[in-house]
Amino acid sequence: MEKSRSNLPAAAGVLDGFSDLQLRRLTKLYRQRLEDATADVAHAVAFSLYAKTVIANVEYEEIAGIDSDKASQLLLQMVLSKEDAKAARAMWQSFTDFRENNAFLKVKKILQEIEDKGDSLHKEINWAPDEVIHDCLVAIHRQHQEILRKRNATLALTSIHGCKLEKTFPLDKHFTELLIIPSLRYQEQVQHELLARGREHAEWRKQVLRRSLEKVRHHEIFGSSFGKCTHCLYAVISGVAGIGKTTLVQKIVHDWAERKIYGQFHFLFQFKFRELNNYQERTSLKQIILHSYPYLEKDLKKIMENPNRILLIFDGLDEFQEPIIFPDIQTKSSNSETKGTSCLYLESWCSIPDIIRALFQGQLLLGCSVLVTTRPTALESLQKAPVHLYAEILGFSEAQIKDYFLKFNSDTKVSLEMLAYVEDNAILYTMCYNPSYCWVICSSLEATFTSPRLRDWSPPKTITQLYANYIHNILKNHAREAEEPRELLLKTGDMAYMGVAERVIVFSDYHFHRYGLQPSNFLSGFLMQILQKENSLKDVVYSFFHLTVQEFLAALAKFFQTPSPKLSQLLDETSTTKDGRYEIFLQFIAGLSCPATTGQLKDLIGEVPQENVYKVVDWIKQRFESAQRHKIQLLNTLYYLFEAQNKALVQETMGQVRQVDFSFQIMSPVDCYVLAVALGHCQQLQNLHLFNCSIESWGMKSLKNVLHKCVNVRLAQNRLGDQGVKFLCEALRKPDCQMQTLELWMANLTDGCVEDLCSALCTNVSVTDLNLKDNAFTDRSVPTLLQLVEKCSSLRTINLCNNLFNESGRQKLEVFEGKMKHTRPELKIKV
């Protein structure tokens, strides 16, 4: 085998020490990630390889002639198809040459990762799992896979209309890919988890789209280049409630059972933490496995003789009631170092936390792989655990939302109508990043768009209306005649509120008896549609289909049955709780003060208590007055105003506002939508400061309808892009536009938006100060910019510093400023 070497500036001392065979293995190991990382730059890399004569002209022309995504795939295919590693070496060399270019952010990350791994990378690329199963285990292996395949073959979801209690789908046909990124983030729950993650999700999605973050696919968690080592043993996947963790686990198990992924594992075992809560006494890993897989009893000892062929999955750490405390040890300790520590055996009797901890530390089934899923707020308990890979589910991208809608209903026309309606409602559309929200939205809209009698009925516009519609449809279609809707709703709501207040999301028979609810209701009816029944290891437990359903029912119960004086006290107490557990609950309380929202529940729960409506309205006013200097509180209050849908209330609170400042606060598209609705009631806004808020074109689409009311607008350090500027220009062209100062520096603007921006500014004669510094304008823009300065007579200052002008472009701008001194001495062009 050829042993040629090459000195590569990046990963010095690592890649230059690889043989051809090792380099090819490394390229194959990173192939999928390299295809993703070079999707935007494949043409440039291909030209570099052509210039180095490692690919022929005809090969380069083939790559250059197709779009970038396919080009990156073809590039890696060509490189790996060469008999020697010359092309692979040249490609890695090109990566190091281009690594400082912003378009190569993902490539740079991979190179840094290779450098960090150092000599250990040699071991990783030579590691190849033996997939041969012992003869005596072949039969039970196949039986185990078939049982898991059948258990996970269908996805069952609650139906809210029609006779069926649930809708079932083949998992393969209904499963929609999720956006998963490799990351490690801990979060103190200052805001409600879903609110905070909704806003952060917008920012993380932007980074993925900017190619600075990588995507992890469900088959890349183990045995890929992600993580601290290729033969990753311990992985953790986090995500907020409803984001798809359990469904992802189902997909992993199903695909393993169908022999599509993770062939290195001969046996896979799946457990739910909520079921493990029922082990109040000591047990053993053997007992836990046999309780779920009793047919393995005869072969279990033989199976466990080869732990490195075993994968254990534990779903829902956040639902586990006992702490798992890891000692303060060096997580980088090797497996060999753990051999001398106290070990547990398959039959060792101990607590569940001890079993989990021992698995992670290699003191039990040394060499086995473990996957844990959890909500972000429970990640801290694993901070000291020796985890090789952390990943986070961000939910759906825009393309995946469309895919979900198309799969939801067999009638493509209905699916597209539903999607079009949601796309026109920013607050609903942004919620669709969360699969559970997406299900609720699709379920509610399907009843409207498929029923002739409901065709003229207005679909929900707010989150509260969405859930009111959701509960109404369930009660109308699935409640038994013996059930009293009002009593059932209020009792369930009381239990739900206890859960919100005490952070309980898993309910037992004790809770049902405490609130006068009988578990027998699960035989049919309303409760079966909003609660999930879990036949756990030792008991039966229940949880709401989604945390937000629990919060809505809690708000419904408190709004309809709390006496007016006590409601004021409740609102004051919950709104001052600093951990954010009541934020969505309070949005629902505000939304229930809207007659259009509660009207659809009137026949089920009775008349709305008007005194409580007045109390909520007064409370929103007070919150607005006290939140002026606190950005998060103010934004939350704007959500209350939006949910209340009370025009008089919004006019009274927002009508005289003269300044709004959300600078340095991440503003998701839905935040921008809610802000725009509120600003629509302002007569004139002197200052709108949205500096460094992570706003992109989607947010500008909402804000365009109110920007013309603002005198001084700060939109600097946002990634508006040329599309965002198009929306801004619509505001500038309005006859009543009052804008005078416009800051757009570092807003990701290019030559592509200059014509439109200049045309709009020439139409508007009120702008006096324009800041466009730190963008990407080139000499191509200079003639149009000169035309702008000449025609826009109101303009006094235009800042163009730190753009991409060359010397001749700058000279033209400076000379033009000199010529204008006689007629417009106040004019300043900064370059």
**pTM attached to this predicted model:** 0.70
**Residues 783, 785, 786, 791: what is their CA dihedral angle, to the nearest 10 degrees?**
120
DSSP codes of every residue in 308-322? GGEEEEEE-GGG--S
**Residue 804, pLDDT score:** 81
Q: Which two tokens stand for residue 265?
A: 């594992």
Given the structure tokens 């790559």, which residue do they identify?
Answer: 63
Quick one: pLDDT band at residue 539, thresholds 50, 70, 90?
A: low
Please determine, for residue 523, whether its predicted confidence score (pLDDT) is greater than 70. no
**Residue 227, pLDDT score:** 61
- Average pLDDT, integer, range 84-93: 88
Please determine, for residue 152, whether its predicted confidence score (pLDDT) is greater than 90. yes
Q: Tell me the C-alpha distance between 432 and 442, whole Å.
A: 9
C-alpha distances in angstroms, 796 versus 9, 421, 469, 765, 799?
50, 44, 54, 11, 10
- Sheet with strand 741-743: strands edge to edge: 659-661, 685-689, 710-714, 741-743, 769-771, 797-799, 828-830
Q: Tell me the C-alpha distance between 694 and 718, whole Å.
A: 5
Given the structure tokens 């409630």, which residue do they identify?
Answer: 241
Q: Which two tokens stand for residue 400?
A: 């995946």
> For residue 269, what are the β-bridge partners?
312
The interaxial angle of helices 610-626 and 583-591, nearest 10 deg, is 130
Nearest CA to 831 out of 759, 780, 782 is that of: 782
Quick one: pLDDT band at residue 716, thresholds 50, 70, 90?
A: very high
**pLDDT (tens digit, 9 = 90+) per residue, 726-750?**
999 999 999 989 999 999 998 888 8
Convert 37-67 into a string of H (helix), E (strand) and C (coil). HCCCCHHHHHHHHHHCCCCCHHHHHHHHCCC
**Residue 535, pLDDT score:** 55
> For residue 266, what are the β-bridge partners?
none
**Cβ atoms within 10 Å of 652's Cβ, excluding its own:** 15
DSSP codes of every residue in 566-629? HHHHHHHHHHT-TT-TTHHHHHHHHHTT-HHHHGGGHHHH-S--HHHHHHHHHHHHHHHHHTTT
Nearest CA to 583 out of 635, 626, 649, 625 is that of: 635
Residue 593 main-chain phi, psi, to 5 deg: -80, -5
Please determine, for residue 44, whether its predicted confidence score (pLDDT) is greater than 90. no
Quick one: pLDDT band at residue 12, thresholds 50, 70, 90?
A: very low
Residue 679 corresponds to which amino acid?
A: L
Longest distance between any two alpha carbons in the chain, whole Å = 98
Burial of 85 (0-12, 13-18, 19+ CB in 10 A): buried
Query: Poorest-confidence range of 524-533, 617-626, 638-647?
Result: 524-533
Q: Tell me the C-alpha distance between 806 and 428, whole Å.
A: 46
CB 750 within 8 A of CB 779: no
- Sheet with strand 369-374: strands edge to edge: 179-182, 389-395, 234-238, 369-374, 310-315, 267-272
Quick one: pLDDT band at residue 130, thresholds 50, 70, 90?
A: low
Per-residue burial over 444-454, b = 16 or more CB atoms within 10 Å of its CB, e = otherwise: bbbbbbbeeee
Q: Up-side HSE of residue 200: CA atoms within 13 Å toward CB? A: 16
Q: Up-side HSE of residue 141: CA atoms within 13 Å toward CB? A: 21
Quick one: pLDDT band at residue 109, thresholds 50, 70, 90?
A: confident
Q: Tell me the C-alpha distance between 421 and 445, whole Å.
A: 9
**Residue 782, pLDDT score:** 94
Q: Tell me the C-alpha distance between 248 and 271, whole Å.
A: 14
Nearest CA to 225 out of 18, 36, 20, 9 is that of: 36
**pLDDT (tens digit, 9 = 90+) per residue, 629-680?**
889 899 999 999 999 999 999 999 998 899 999 999 988 878 899 999 999 9
Q: Tell me the C-alpha distance between 38 and 541, whole Å.
A: 48
**pLDDT (tens digit, 9 = 90+) per residue, 503-518?**
888 888 888 889 988 7
Task: Classify 473 as helix, strand or coil.
Answer: helix
**Residues 706, 712, 718, 723: what is their CA dihedral angle, to the nearest 10 degrees?**
50
Please determine, for residue 7, whether its predicted confidence score (pLDDT) is greater than 70. no
C-alpha distances in angstroms, 587 versus 192, 278, 608, 653?
11, 34, 17, 17
Q: Tell me the C-alpha distance between 312 and 293, whole Å.
A: 13
Quick one: pLDDT band at residue 161, thresholds 50, 70, 90?
A: low
Q: Tell me the C-alpha distance between 428 and 439, whole Å.
A: 12
Q: Which two tokens stand for residue 183?
A: 């990351």
- Average pLDDT, integer, range 442-467: 77
Q: Tell me the C-alpha distance between 561 and 795, whole Å.
A: 60
Q: Which two tokens stand for residue 657?
A: 């506002």
Residue 367 corresponds to which amino acid?
A: G
Residue 150: which residues within 8 A CB-CB, separation 6 or more?
A: none
Task: Classify 686 as helix, strand or coil.
Answer: strand
Residue 522 corresponds to which amino acid?
A: F
E-state strands within 669-787: 685-689, 710-714, 741-743, 769-771
**Cβ atoms within 10 Å of 25's Cβ, excluding its own:** 18
CB 691 within 8 A of CB 668: no
Task: Classify 347 as helix, strand or coil.
Answer: coil
Q: Tell me the C-alpha distance between 496 and 551, whole Å.
A: 7
Given the structure tokens 């020697």, which residue do they identify?
Answer: 84
Please determine, for residue 453, whether its predicted confidence score (pLDDT) is greater than 70. no
* The dihedral sign for the CA sequence 434, 436, 438, 444: negative
Nearest CA to 465 out of 453, 457, 477 is that of: 457
Q: Tell me the C-alpha distance between 829 and 815, whole Å.
A: 10
Q: Tell me the C-alpha distance between 517 and 198, whole Å.
A: 34
Please determine, for residue 394, whether its predicted confidence score (pLDDT) is greater than 90. no
* The dihedral sign for the CA sequence 504, 510, 516, 522: positive
